[in-house]
C-alpha cells in the first residue's frame, strides 16, 4: 500500500514539475490566426477527443492546443524561409536591361 501511495505522489510531483517547465518555455500567444489555422486547431482538439473517447480535461486540451500552436509557428517559419529563398533566387535570375525601343 505504501509503495503505491509513494509512486502516485512521485508521479504527481513529476507532473507538476513538468507543467511548470512547460509554462516557462511557452512561446506566447498567436496574435492573428487565419481561418485554416483555426480549423487546424479545432481539428486537433477534435481528433484528441476522438482518440480519448470522451471529453478532454482542461489540462489535456491545453496540451493539445500548445502542440498545435507550435506546429503552426513552425509552419509559418518554414513559409518565411521559403519566401526568402524565392526572393534570393529571383534576384539572382533578374538582370536589368535597357528596354529596346519600338521600330517600325
pTM: 0.61
90-104 pLDDT, tens digit per residue, is 777 667 778 888 887
Mean pLDDT of 62-83: 93
Quick one: cell of 93? 535570375
Quick one: cell of 95? 538582370
16-41 pLDDT, tens digit per residue, is 455 555 555 556 678 899 999 999 99
The residues spanned by each domain of the chain are 58-93
Amino acid at each position: 500500500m505504501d509503495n503505491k501511495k509513494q509512486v502516485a505522489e512521485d508521479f504527481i510531483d513529476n507532473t507538476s514539475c513538468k507543467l511548470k517547465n512547460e509554462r516557462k518555455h511557452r512561446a506566447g500567444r498567436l496574435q492573428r490566426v487565419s481561418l485554416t489555422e483555426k480549423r487546424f486547431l479545432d481539428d486537433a482538439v477534435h481528433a484528441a477527443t476522438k482518440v480519448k473517447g470522451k471529453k478532454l480535461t482542461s489540462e489535456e486540451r491545453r496540451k493539445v492546443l500548445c502542440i498545435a500552436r507550435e506546429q503552426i509557428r513552425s509552419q509559418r517559419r518554414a513559409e518565411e524561409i521559403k519566401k526568402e529563398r524565392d526572393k534570393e533566387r529571383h534576384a539572382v535570375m533578374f538582370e536589368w536591361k535597357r528596354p529596346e525601343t519600338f521600330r517600325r
